[in-house]
């Protein structure tokens, strides 16, 4: 614990925790950019391959479904092998389906590629795991939320930049049928470069490499329970499943909005592909500060009171998100829809940050299992929303129903009661020195 950073010093690259902080958000940014690069291009793919609305819905579901399983796996893998190896390997392997999508020939190949690309979304769990073992309890919520927020902004960047890449290649004389394929090769290359950078410059924890430390018999804060032992311990903790639900109702909504926003603005408000991409991109770019704000508020609330105040704060954010979603569903113009999207987007991202400000305190000995299960909850929420939209066939109805469920999920946040051993850490949170 003494080697963990108890301050987020953005301009310090000498220490292992701050190097990990910057490498994790950059890696997550690249991964989310690759994960959602094809989402704003779906109208183009739908025209070229004559995709039906049902097929588009299946593709959107596939984009987040595979992530559920991979998130459950990478958490325990981090406990066993360390986040550096797992992250670099995930990005290197994830570049394959991203590049393969550029060579798709129809519905089946697009579906399979999007299913494979979904594995890249598991990068979030590794980011949260890595910052959780690098930062002390007094700032871990801020570090987790900020790194994840800056990384998640990659999804917003994809919404805005992918149509721009398409337009740029077309300006250079490339036909649209080839331009979108060339645009999708950019994130694949970025994944390979980032995989090398992460492997070269990151380390597992403040003390060094997990495997080397274990061989020397040195105790480390992360990975005390490895592999399936970590997963089993997390499964037995009811708090994990409460956060599983809350994360499904905030990050799940975030993923759902990323997959349908651009198409919704094109079909419902008749915006151009470029304008729709920019409008949808606003939602993702809110993560640059809103998710961090959720973590900061959670840390400050805990320092002024105790750890038990983190859960009610999360509940309030979920309630605000639910009401904002209902407003968005009933917006009658594109401008009003964008305003409503900003409002519920702020609460959505803050709730994501507040959720993972709680995660490091649930079970330190099984951090990978906890992080993986809660992270998978986000994708379960997105898949459920995708099936709801496929069944209803209407984005407005789906979003309205989601708003009600999200508001009700605040009760799950209130159900997260921390034990006496958790609350015993309160003095260290309030009085931890800064450096």
- Phi, psi dihedral angles at 45 (to 5 degrees): -65, -40
Whole-number pLDDT of residue 431? 41
Place of tokens 């992270």: 375
Place of tokens 């721009």: 164
- Residue 201: which domain range? 16-431
In a domain, 3, yes or no: no
- Distance from chain centroid for Cα 96: 21
Q: How far apart are CA 114 and CA 98, in angstroms?
A: 8
In a domain, 250, yes or no: yes
User: Are 24 and 150 a contacting pair, CB within 8 Å?
Assistant: no
Q: Is 90 exposed, middle or buried (0-12, 13-18, 19+ CB in 10 A)?
A: buried
pTM: 0.78
- The domain that contains 48 carries what CATH number? 1.20.1250.20
Here the tokens at position 171 are 């300006």
| Averaged pLDDT, groups of 10, the chain, 435 residues long | 77 88 95 90 89 87 84 86 94 95 93 93 90 86 85 82 91 91 94 96 90 79 60 86 94 86 82 82 83 87 74 94 92 90 93 88 79 87 88 86 94 82 52 38
In a domain, 290, yes or no: yes
In a domain, 2, yes or no: no
Whole-number pLDDT of residue 2? 53
DSSP assignments along 287-320, one per residue: GGTHHHHHHHHHHHHHHHS-GGGHHHHHHHHHHH
In a domain, 254, yes or no: yes
User: DSSP state, 51?
Assistant: -
User: Are 24 and 127 a contacting pair, CB within 8 Å?
Assistant: yes
User: Are 141 and 295 a contacting pair, CB within 8 Å?
Assistant: yes
User: In this structure, which long-range contacts are made by residues 171-174, counting pairs with CB atoms below 8 Å and at least 24 apart in sequence?
Assistant: none
Whole-number pLDDT of residue 210? 87
Here the tokens at position 285 are 């770019």
User: Are 314 and 355 a contacting pair, CB within 8 Å?
Assistant: yes
User: DSSP state, 52?
Assistant: -
Q: How far apart are CA 204 and CA 85, in angstroms?
A: 8
3-class secondary-structure state, position 205: strand
**Whose CA is closest to 368, among 233, 229, 202, 223?**
223
Q: How far apart are CA 420 and CA 359, in angstroms?
A: 16
Beta bridge pairs of residue 208: 205
**Whose CA is closest to 239, among 422, 427, 70, 83?**
422
Q: How far apart are CA 313 and CA 27, in angstroms?
A: 29
Q: How far apart are CA 22 and CA 28, in angstroms?
A: 10
**Whose CA is closest to 368, among 125, 147, 25, 134?**
125
User: Are 132 and 360 a contacting pair, CB within 8 Å?
Assistant: yes
> Which distant-in-sequence residues (6+ apart) come within 8 Å of 270 by Cβ?
none
- Phi, psi dihedral angles at 346 (to 5 degrees): -60, -50
Domain count across the chain: 1
Here the tokens at position 199 are 């492997």
In a domain, 337, yes or no: yes
Positive/negative CA dihedral, 306, 307, 312, 317: positive
Q: Is 225 exposed, middle or buried (0-12, 13-18, 19+ CB in 10 A)?
A: buried
Q: How far apart are CA 226 and CA 213, in angstroms?
A: 14
In a domain, 1, yes or no: no
Whole-number pLDDT of residue 430? 42
Place of tokens 């349908």: 260
In a domain, 6, yes or no: no
User: Are 184 and 37 a contacting pair, CB within 8 Å?
Assistant: yes
Whole-number pLDDT of residue 196? 97
DSSP assignments along 329-375, one per residue: HT--SHHHHHHHHHHHHHHHHHHHHHHHHHGGGT-GGGHHHHHHHHH
Here the tokens at position 273 are 């592909």
């Amino acid at each position: 614990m003494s080697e963990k950073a108890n301050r987020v010093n953005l301009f310090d690259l000498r220490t292992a925790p701050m190097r990990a902080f910057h490498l994790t958000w950059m890696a997550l940014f690249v991964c989310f950019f690759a994960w959602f690069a094809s989402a704003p291009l779906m109208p183009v793919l739908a025209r070229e391959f004559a995709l039906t609305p049902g097929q588009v819905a299946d593709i959107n579901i596939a984009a987040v479904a595979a992530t559920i399983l991979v998130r459950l796996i990478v958490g325990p893998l981090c406990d066993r092998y360390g986040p550096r190896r797992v992250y670099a390997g995930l990005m290197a392997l994830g570049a394959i389906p991203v590049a393969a999508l550029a060579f798709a020939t129809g519905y089946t190949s697009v579906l399979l590629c999007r299913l494979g690309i979904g594995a890249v979304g598991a990068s979030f769990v590794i980011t949260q795991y890595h910052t959780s073992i690098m930062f002390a309890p007094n700032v871990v919520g801020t570090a987790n939320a900020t790194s994840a927020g800056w990384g998640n902004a990659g999804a917003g960047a994809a919404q805005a930049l992918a149509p721009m890449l398409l337009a740029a290649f077309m300006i250079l004389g490339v036909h649209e049928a080839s331009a979108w394929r060339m645009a999708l090769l950019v994130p694949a290359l970025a994944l390979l470069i980032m995989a090398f950078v992460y492997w070269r410059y990151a380390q597992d924890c403040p003390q060094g490499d997990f495997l080397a430390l274990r061989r020397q018999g040195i105790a480390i804060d992360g990975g005390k329970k490895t592999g399936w032992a970590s997963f089993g311990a997390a499964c037995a903790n009811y708090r994990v499943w409460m956060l599983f639900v809350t994360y499904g109702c905030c990050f799940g909504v975030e993923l759902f909005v990323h997959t349908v926003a651009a198409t919704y603005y094109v079909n419902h408000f008749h915006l151009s592909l470029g304008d729709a991409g920019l409008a949808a991109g606003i939602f993702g770019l809110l993560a640059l500060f809103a998710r961090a704000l959720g973590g900061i508020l959670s840390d400050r609330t805990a320092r002024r009171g105790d750890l038990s105040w983190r859960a009610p704060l999360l509940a309030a954010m979920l309630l605000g998100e639910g009401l904002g979603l209902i407003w968005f569903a009933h917006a009658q113009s594109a401008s009003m829809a964008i305003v409503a999207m900003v409002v519920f987007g702020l609460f959505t991202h803050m709730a994501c940050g507040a959720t993972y400000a709680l995660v490091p305190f649930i079970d330190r000995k099984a951090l990978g299992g906890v992080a993986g299960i809660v992270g998978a909850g986000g994708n379960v929420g997105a898949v459920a929303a995708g099936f709801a939209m496929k069944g209803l066939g209407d984005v407005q109805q789906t979003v309205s129903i989601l708003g009600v469920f999200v508001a009700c999920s605040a009760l799950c946040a209130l159900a997260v009661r921390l034990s006496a051993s958790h609350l015993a850490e309160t003095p260290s949170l309030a009085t931890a020195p800064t450096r």
